[in-house]
A and B are shown apart, each in its own frame.
Chain A
Amino acid sequence: MSEAPATRVMLGALVRADLLVLLKGRRSIVVGLLLPLWILFITNGHKGTRTMGGAYYIIGIAVAYGLATFGLMGYATRVARDRDTGVLQRLRVTPAPAWAVMGSRLLAQSVANLVVSLVVVAVGATMHHLHPSLGQYLLVLLASTLGGAVFLAIGQAVVGLVRSADAVNAVGRLLLVALIFLGLFGASGVLGATWESISRWSPVGCVMTVYAGVLDLSAWGSTQWLAVLACAGYVGVTGSLGVRWFRWQSA
């Protein structure tokens, strides 16, 4: 019995196509970059920076929002759209295994996450006169992988639990706004200690903490390690929900 085409060949074709789709969907990349750059711009003063916990935290917030935008508005809505229009169904009747179809999308989105993270960190460091070392930039890549995974997993959960593309779009926007406000106002302490604590351990807060720790290694400690663990927990829980309840066809 001759076999199906090699997985390597199929995955290569899928990743190439998904990267092309991302590249051509420039608007989502621009939107994903606008929010973090805007945050960097409006906090480009000592007062704002101090209020938000310092330059390292500001860059962390900016990157976290960029990744959240990509995960919730980019990945989730694109998957939901492709599910609604039958693009996924068309791919499923090929020899490519289901994991390769989804894995390729995640991989392409992760590449985009890394690029955006590096751009935001580089711009933020310039604006705040920081000088990260090459090692720190490498750590930024690691942190971006983790942070990107958190929001992709949340995006997967949304697209798994919500069936129609319009609903995924709406839920994604609401969730994104909620995370932004939680991060901005919770972290600033204006909502009180409880909300500050909730904010710190929210997905945005954890990713932000990890980034801040990577950019200021002298401050790395148990809080940062706990944030890493929390990120892993978010990935595990929301990712499992997303995979378990994901349907290839819309309702």
Chain B
Amino acid sequence: MTSSVASTLVTNVGELTTNDPTLGDGSAQGRLTAAAFAVEGGRVAWVGPADAAPACDTRLDVDGAAVVPGFVDAHTHLVFAGERSDEFEARLAGRPYDGGGIARTVAATRAASTEQLRHGVAARVRALRAGGVTTLEVKSGYELTSEGEARDLRLAREVTEQVTWLGAHALPPEFAHDRAGYLALLTGEMLERCAPLARWADVFCDVGAFDLDETRVVLEAARTRGLGLRVHANQLAHGGAVRLAVELGAASADHLTHLDDDDVEALAGSSTVATLLPGAEFCTRSDYAPARRLLDAGATVALSTDCNPGTSYVTSMALVIALAVREMGLTCDEALWAATRGGARALHLDDVGHLGVGARADFLVLDAPRAAHLAYRPGADLVTTHVATIPDAPDAPDAPDAPDAPDAPGARRADAPAHPVGTAQASRGATLAVCDLVVSYGDHVAVDGIDLSIAPGEILGLLGPNGAGKTSTLSAIEGLVRPRRGRVTVDGIDALAHPSVARARLGVQLQANSFSPELTLAQIVRLFGGLYGVRLSAEEAVGRLGEVGLGEEAGRGWKHLSGGQQQRLSLVVAMVHRPSLLLLDEPTAGLDPQARRQLWGRIDRVRATGAGVLLTTHSMEEAQSVCDRVAIIDHGRLLAEGPPHVLVERYRDDERVRAVARGAVTLEDVFIGLTGSDLRE
């Protein structure tokens, strides 16, 4: 490996399952023996025989163990409070029991504090991670109010990007006699509130839940808000849910316990993934889904835990694999593929679930010579080492009064160690996490419940018209204003509780930077170095200025600089301490195209150091060119979030966007479509 990025060679792999058919034996599992693979920048850079491995900076010898891709759990309900073990006990004992089902969990979840819920989510994520899950989806669905569902989605976003709004999980008690009213809430206020927080929408379409017409209405409304679709289908009885999912182009139809031939054929002929949840059937002693028929027909199958407090309090993907093999007729290889690449397909992710070149280096080292041991030794803790892409669960304080249950039987202890590997990325904790942020000035609410997160090395563009709440959001992150509500975490530090410590990790470029006119550039750099604990000599300060072409100006005052030079100085000052997170408030305003391009290049280099960047801008060109993701806000609320091209794709057919587009839809069309054409301020 010749790149400047540190690389790690994972070698002496007894059996390597890549799930990349272009590698190894050419099977779907892309299997190699006596293999090695190189990891660089958190991604797989090379795969091949161990004796042909390239030189790397560090080396991990796994001593002949099997290595598989990290599990992708595409169906979980982790945000809940309470437990229903009595219901489980009664059900399996054959005793009649009506403990309340979902409604009971809804009541407990509504009654729980956010901190209690966070504590529960963190415990379950740790259990899943310990069992080898490296990517997971999390659904809401246990509060069934606009505010509550939004709260659950925010909690889910703290642990994954794959967040699903499941407001249509059940009819809440207050709407027991008003289905139409709840449907109106779902497709109106609740969707409005939840769509910006979720990537997916799901409906429990089954007897006793939502019928086909209702499901269609909710899913179509969600689709117009840019959400991808998923369906809980045919778990309790046969119905038309599977075909509806296929018709609407859902990414996944889940459960599928009761299928007829038409359903199987529909799934096989579509891109909708059949996500099977044998944990639910195991825990409810029900028939298993016809996995064999689905596979034989050509459908894409995924396996997931369905972790929830009622029907499948399972946090072990290894158990799910064992059930799929023992009870559903899958081969060990098919089950492993379904639990990895199948799950990735169900989430429309291309770079997880496999270990081909370019994939995220999310892998598990097993305490076994072959992957088949996952099914062969049910109940054994085989995952000895993993590299996870799920962020670390938030460090929730102990909540002894939380109405919560202990970890599910069979799960690893939450504190089970997971050993990060060499220089590879062990976890992707967010550099910035903003949760439910509310900022107000008197009666005026400038920021109303915004959630944001930035991963290391990621650039997030915050877009919005004048007065949308961008600068107020930045001000709250910087500690200049005290939010009325919410959490801001910078590099794991609670910025509201420890503002100075958090600011020490921030590099800031304000919209209107200003320095004392009496100081020279070198003195300014030395001053700010000192404020961040970096003692710079006069020569070192001049050297820093030289990096941006200002070395010769070091003895001048900043007022004598051009606009572009002032921006460069601001960037030097913001970066004087190598921050984890760079906040740039309209950094290119007033710059000519050359200066703008140069600044973009510098921002890109900052990103390459692993710092996250949050930038506000009015330039859609800038957002599209520079940002990995953009978040569009207006009136203090988050309207949409995602990579620029994904937003364009998502809102291409949105009526509001189509109405303003001239030709091919651009990010600017999406922006104006969502925020309106009226002039502001």
Residues on A close to B: CB < 8 A? 1-6, 9-10, 12-14, 16-17, 20-21, 24-25, 82, 85-87, 89-97, 248
Contacts and interface: CB of A to CB of B under 8 A. Distances in A.
Interface string B500-527: 1101101010101111101100010011
B500 A1 contact: no
Given A86-B510, A90-B514, A95-B501, A16 B527 contact: yes
Contacts of B531: 5, 10, 13-14, 91, 94-96
A85 B530 contact: no
Contacts of A24: 518-519
Contacts of B600: none
Residue among A1, A5, A25 facing the most chain B CB atoms (10 A cut-off): A5
Contacts of B478: 93
Contacts of A1: 492-493, 498, 501
B681 to A, nearest CB: 17
A80 B523 CA distance: 22
Contacts of A20: 518-519, 523
Q: Is the interface of A mostly helix, strand, loop or mixed?
A: helix
Given A9-B530, A89-B510, 19 more contacts: A1-B492, A3-B504, A4-B503, A9-B533, A13-B531, A17-B519, A17-B523, A17-B527, A20-B523, A82-B514, A87-B514, A89-B514, A90-B510, A90-B514, A94-B503, A94-B528, A94-B532, A95-B532, A97-B500
B503 A95 contact: yes
Contacts of B508: 90, 93-94
Nearest to A101: B531
Contacts of B504: 3-5, 95
A95 B530 contact: no
Contacts of B530: 5, 9-10, 12-14, 16
Contacts of B480: 89, 92-93, 248
Residue among A2, A17, A96 facing the most chain B CB atoms (10 A cut-off): A17
B558 to A, nearest CB: 10
B514 A5 contact: no
A208 to B, nearest CB: 32
Nearest to B499: A95
A13 B513 contact: no
B597 interface: no
Given A9-B535, A86-B510, A94-B528, A3 B501 contact: yes
A87 B501 contact: no
Contacts of A6: 533
Interface in B467-491: 478-480
The 5 closest A-B pairs by CB, nearest first: A13-B530, A5-B533, A86-B514, A4-B500, A24-B518
10 contacts: A13-B527, A17-B519, A17-B527, A24-B519, A86-B514, A89-B480, A94-B531, A95-B501, A95-B533, A248-B480
B516 A82 contact: yes
B132 interface: no
Contact of A10 (B516, B523, B533): B533
Contact of B510 (A4, A5, A93): A93
Contacts of A248: 480
A82 B519 CA distance: 13
Nearest to A249: B480
B461 interface: no
Interface residues of B, number: 30
Contacts of B519: 17, 20-21, 24
B457 interface: no
Interface string B53-68: 0000000000000000
B305 to A, nearest CB: 33
B141 interface: no
Nearest to B531: A94
Residue among A86, A89, A94 facing the most chain B CB atoms (10 A cut-off): A94
A17 B558 CA distance: 14
Contacts of A92: 479-480
A31 to B, nearest CB: 16
B602 to A, nearest CB: 19
B473 to A, nearest CB: 14
A86 B512 contact: yes
A4 B532 CA distance: 8
A133 to B, nearest CB: 38
A82 B513 CA distance: 11
Contacts of B515: 87, 90
A223 B515 CA distance: 46
Residue among B501, B516, B533 facing the most chain A CB atoms (10 A cut-off): B516
Nearest to A84: B514
A13 B528 CA distance: 8
B529 interface: yes
Interface string B523-563: 10011111111010000000000000000000000000000
A21 B516 contact: yes
Contacts of A5: 504, 530-533
B221 to A, nearest CB: 42
Residue among A14, A16, A82, A93 facing the most chain B CB atoms (10 A cut-off): A93
Nearest to A10: B531
A97 B510 CA distance: 18
Nearest to A25: B518
Contacts of A14: 527, 530-531
Nearest to B503: A95
Nearest to A88: B514
Nearest to A13: B530
B527 A93 contact: no
Interface string B99-130: 00000000000000000000000000000000
A93 B519 CA distance: 19
Contacts of B500: 4, 95-97
Contacts of A82: 514, 516
A16 B515 CA distance: 15
A25 B516 CA distance: 11
A14 B510 CA distance: 20
A160 B530 CA distance: 28
Interface string B280-298: 0000000000000000000
B513 to A, nearest CB: 6
A21 B523 CA distance: 10
A49 B174 CA distance: 90
Interface string B666-677: 000000000000
Contacts of B523: 17, 20
A232 B535 CA distance: 38
A87 B510 CA distance: 11
Contacts of A2: 501
Contacts of A9: 530, 533, 535
Nearest to A86: B514
Contacts of A87: 514-516
Nearest to A24: B518
A111 to B, nearest CB: 16
A13 B501 contact: no
A17 B510 contact: no
Contacts of B533: 4-6, 9-10, 95
Residue among B493, B498, B514, B519 facing the most chain A CB atoms (10 A cut-off): B514
Interface string B177-205: 00000000000000000000000000000
Nearest to B528: A94
Contact of A86 (B479, B513, B535): B513
A5 B530 CA distance: 8
B256 to A, nearest CB: 47
Residue among B478, B512, B527 facing the most chain A CB atoms (10 A cut-off): B527
Nearest to B512: A86
B574 to A, nearest CB: 9
B289 to A, nearest CB: 47
Residue among A25, A85, A95 facing the most chain B CB atoms (10 A cut-off): A95
A85 B516 CA distance: 9
